[in-house]
Each structure stands twice: as structure tokens, then as C-alpha cells.
């Protein structure tokens, strides 16, 4: 079956250097792409602007510790995911055993597309909230400058 041209093909001639972004959006619209409610809703997160060029992604991860989580960057993608599903389902913790499991501690993987000029500064897990700090690096030639009139 031939692939139907997408709306993004109409935008390609008008832009330079955005092919990866269009390919990403096309993959989201692909018939083979399956979205489950778990993937959409878990973990809940906020994206905060904390300065002119600084941002934080904050993900609610109650019940997880820093050894359960990985934060990865590759090819303009920031991914937050659990390390191993096996360790997440252990119902024994030292001398105690979980009788009712109400705090979700399931495997997840959430990805964010980041621009070429955005750098991941670090990540911190504190009080059940994972904070990933990002900064947009603006080159000197793109910063606003005042031209002195002679």
C-alpha cells in the first residue's frame, strides 16, 4: 500500500533543517503507532519555564528512588524511564511485606523532543518529584545587541 502524503510534505519546501521534526510528527500519525492510556497519562509531568532560557521538566514519581530511574538523551530526544521492570514488582522490603499496593510503581518510558540548541543540565529526584533541568543555549550572533549610531 502506498503511503499517503502528509500535511508535513507541504511544509518541507518552506523550511530548512526541520526534516527530523516532520519525520517525528509523521511517525505519530502512522497507522502502526499505538498509543495506550498508560503511555499518555503516566507519569504525570509539568514543564516549567524558570528563566529566559531555562526550563524544568518535573515528573511525579512517588514510590521510585533514583536507582529505579534513567534519564537519557540521544538525537534530540530526552527520555525518562524505569531501569528494570523486575525490581519494580518486589513486594518485600526488608522485614515488611506489602499487603495492598496503591502506589503505582510500574514500568514507564516517556520521551520529549528537544531542540538542537537545548542542553540537559542535570536531574534530581527529591520528595517523589524528578526535576530535569534544561537550558537553551543562544549563540552570541543570535542574541539581541544594540547598534551604536554614529
Overall average pLDDT of the 27-35 stretch: 55
- One DSSP character per residue, 49-89 reads E-SSSEEEEEEE-TT--TTTEEEEEETTEEEEEES-HHHHT
For residue 48, what pLDDT band results from cuts at 50, 70 and 90?
Answer: very high
Q: Give pTM, 2 decimals.
A: 0.63
Instruction: Say how many residues make up the chain.
Output: 150
Residues 65 and 102 in one domain: yes
Q: Is the pLDDT of residue 19 over 90?
A: no
The set of residues, in sequence order, having a beta carbon less than 8 Å from that of 149 and lying 6+ positions away, is none
**CA gap 113, 97 in Å, rounded:** 39
What is the number of domains present in the chain? 2
Residues 29 and 50 in one domain: no
Helix (H, G, I), strand (E, B) or coil at 101: coil
Domain containing 11 equals 1-33
Overall average pLDDT of the 102-116 stretch: 83
Q: Is the pLDDT of residue 101 over 90?
A: no
Contact 83, 70 (CB under 8 A): yes
Residues 17 and 57 in one domain: no
Residues 135 and 75 in one domain: yes
Nearest to 110 by CA among 43, 46, 64: 43
CATH number at residue 130: 2.60.40.790
What pLDDT is attached to residue 117? Answer: 87
Overall average pLDDT of the 10-27 stretch: 64
Asked if residue 146 belongs to a domain, the reply is no
Q: Is the pLDDT of residue 138 over 80?
A: yes
Q: Is the pLDDT of residue 94 over 50?
A: yes
Asked if residue 148 belongs to a domain, the reply is no
**CA gap 68, 82 in Å, rounded:** 6
Contact 34, 105 (CB under 8 A): no
What's the whole-number average pLDDT of the chain? 78
Residues 28 and 48 in one domain: no
Amino acid at each position: 500500500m502506498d503511503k499517503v502524503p502528509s500535511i508535513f510534505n507541504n511544509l518541507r519546501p518552506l523550511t530548512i533543517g526541520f526534516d527530523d521534526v516532520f519525520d517525528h510528527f509523521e511517525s505519530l500519525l502512522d497507522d502502526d503507532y499505538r498509543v495506550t492510556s498508560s503511555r499518555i497519562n503516566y507519569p504525570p509531568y509539568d514543564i516549567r519555564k524558570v528563566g529566559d532560557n531555562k526550563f524544568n521538566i518535573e515528573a511525579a514519581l512517588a514510590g521510585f528512588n533514583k536507582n529505579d530511574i534513567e534519564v537519557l538523551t540521544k538525537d534530540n530526544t530526552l527520555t525518562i524511564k524505569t531501569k528494570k521492570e523486575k525490581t519494580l514488582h518486589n513486594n518485600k522490603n526488608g522485614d515488611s511485606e506489602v499487603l495492598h499496593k496503591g502506589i503505582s510503581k510500574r514500568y514507564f518510558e516517556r520521551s520529549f523532543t528537544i531542540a538542537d540548541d537545548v542542553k540537559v543540565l542535570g536531574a534530581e529526584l527529591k520528595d517523589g518529584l524528578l526535576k530535569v533541568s534544561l537550558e537553551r543555549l543562544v549563540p552570541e550572533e543570535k542574541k539581541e545587541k544594540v547598534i551604536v549610531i554614529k
